[in-house]
């Protein structure tokens, strides 16, 4: 038997018991503890023999001189594969989530509250990302001159995303007001992609008709005021302090906290592992391929959709001994609630 190969019923029962006991206690698991809870009434000696086979197969590890064993990465992956996915969220957790998200009216507010409730329920780090998409139609733009060659541009979408950036432009406030009025009057309700395409077309065809106006709009356009790049992605993180209880190595802890502080890295991380086409919640054990500093973390997440359109993603980051079933069920429940609530607000 080796890691990744099918194992027998007895080995599966013992491995599952070890994983669940270790998740619950955080202490190495010994044969006597397992014997007391064995449905088959297995003796400690029998269990020790099975545990020895599981060690040889790479599913268990022995920390230091402890008599107990702890699950390996392969064990956690095997355990997750065996989960049925049929577990219902407890009424208590459902009530906490429902109460936390009641009255939400837009994507950004939902994601902000969700990062908090995910952290609360999982006792780990809740991460949510709101991204711009087809449903993020333009509500209005606003431009304000800050000083020499600096303009503050604010873009608000109908789904509630607010983006601002400082542009290096030398335009008087009067021209900025006219440009904002032109964009708001002509393109309110359009997607940002459609606005960009139409402005590009008008710059070619109507330059002479709107000479000064289109010159201002062109300068704003070229500065990317209506771009749909990563600056449109809003990241919310809650519960980083939960890592303190789970990570005793101070240098590792500092490394993890620094990684969580780099929000663009988190965007890349979730983008790498959460496929927009996936339907089920995904569990990734060991994130070192995408982010070496997160090698000892687990990602449990899913894209967040409204009417089939991906509007962001939500996830929990935690140690390998996270409560997988509980967290998977909570993430799935919130994703369904996201679709329901935001569809009702369309």
Q: From first to last of the 346 residues of the chain, give the pLDDT tens digit.
A: 555 566 788 899 999 999 999 999 888 999 888 888 777 778 889 989 999 999 999 999 988 766 789 999 999 999 999 887 667 888 999 999 999 998 887 788 889 899 999 999 999 999 998 875 545 678 888 888 887 788 888 888 776 677 778 888 888 888 889 888 988 998 888 877 678 778 777 776 665 555 656 666 666 766 656 655 444 578 888 988 887 766 655 666 677 777 777 777 788 788 878 877 777 899 999 887 767 777 778 999 998 888 777 788 999 998 888 999 999 999 999 999 988 887 775 5
Q: What is the pTM of this model?
A: 0.70
In the block, residue with structure tokens 């440009």? 179
Residues in the chain, total: 346
Contact 225, 141 (CB under 8 A): yes
Provide long-range contacts, Cβ within 8 A and 24+ apart, for 61-66: 62/28, 63/28, 66/28
pLDDT tens-place string over residues 64-105: 766 789 999 999 999 999 887 667 888 999 999 999 998 887
Cβ neighbors of 120 (< 8 A, separation 6 or more) are 96, 100, 126, 238, 239
Ordered strands of the 162-167 beta sheet:
138-147, 150-157, 162-167
Q: Which of 137, 135, 226 is nearest to 179 (CA)?
A: 226
pLDDT tens-place string over residues 96-153: 999 999 888 778 888 989 999 999 999 999 999 887 554 567 888 888 888 778 888 8
d(CA 126, CA 116): 6
How many C-beta atoms lie closer than 10 Å to residue 164's C-beta? Answer: 12
Q: Are strands 138-147 and 125-130 parallel, antiparallel or unpaired?
A: unpaired
Query: How buried is 268 (Cβ within 10 angstroms: 0-12 exposed, 13-18 middle, 19+ buried)?
Result: middle
Structural domains of the chain sorted by starting position, each given as residue range(s) with its CATH number in brackets: 9-82 (1.10.10.10), 91-131+233-344 (3.30.450.40), 138-230 (3.30.390)
DSSP of 92-151? HHHHHHHHHHTT--SHHHHHHHHHHHHHHHHTSEEEEEE---TT-BEEEEEEEEEETTEE
Supply 255's token pair. 């490394």
Cα dihedral 36→40→45→48 (10° resolution): -90
Please say whether the dihedral angle defined by the alpha carbons of residues 248, 37, 77 and 301, taken in this order, is positive or negative: negative
Q: Could you give the residue ranges of the DSSP H alpha helices within 223-262?
A: 242-246, 250-261
Please say whether the dihedral angle defined by the alpha carbons of residues 109, 128, 82 and 80, taken in this order, is positive or negative: negative
How many C-beta atoms lie closer than 10 Å to residue 15's C-beta? Answer: 24
């Amino acid at each position: 038997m080796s890691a990744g190969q099918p194992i027998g019923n007895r080995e599966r029962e013992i491995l599952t018991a070890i994983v669940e006991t270790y998740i619950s206690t955080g202490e190495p698991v010994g044969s006597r503890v397992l014997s007391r809870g064995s449905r088959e009434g297995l003796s400690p000696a029998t269990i020790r023999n099975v545990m020895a086979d599981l060690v040889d197969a790479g599913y268990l590890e022995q920390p230091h001189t402890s008599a107990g064993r702890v699950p390996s990465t392969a064990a956690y992956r095997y355990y997750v594969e065996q989960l049925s996915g049929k577990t219902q969220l407890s009424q208590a957790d459902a009530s906490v989530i429902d109460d936390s998200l009641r009255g939400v009216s837009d994507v950004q507010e939902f994601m902000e509250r969700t990062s908090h409730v995910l952290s609360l329920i999982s006792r780990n780090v809740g991460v949510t990302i709101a991204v711009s998409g087809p449903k993020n139609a333009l509500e209005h733009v606003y431009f304000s001159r800050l000083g020499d060659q600096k303009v503050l541009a604010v873009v608000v979408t109908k789904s509630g995303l607010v983006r601002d950036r400082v542009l290096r432009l030398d335009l008087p406030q009067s021209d900025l007001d006219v440009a904002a009025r032109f964009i708001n009057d002509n393109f309110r309700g359009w997607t940002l992609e459609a606005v960009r395409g139409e402005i590009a077309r008008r710059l070619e065809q109507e330059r002479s008709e709107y000479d000064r106006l289109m010159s201002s709009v062109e300068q704003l356009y070229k500065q990317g005021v209506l771009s749909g790049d990563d600056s449109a992605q809003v990241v919310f993180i809650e519960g980083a302090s939960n890592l303190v209880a789970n990570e005793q190595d101070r240098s590792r802890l500092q490394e993890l906290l620094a990684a969580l502080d780099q929000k663009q890295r988190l965007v890349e991380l979730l983008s790498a592992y959460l496929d927009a086409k996936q339907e089920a919640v995904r569990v990734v054990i060991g994130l070192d391929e995408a982010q070496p500093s997160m090698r000892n973390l687990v990602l449990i997440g899913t894209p967040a959709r409204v009417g089939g359109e991906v509007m962001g993603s939500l996830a929990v980051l935690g140690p390998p001994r996270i409560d997988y079933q509980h967290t998977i069920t909570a993430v799935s429940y919130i994703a369904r609630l996201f679709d329901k609530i935001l569809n009702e607000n369309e």
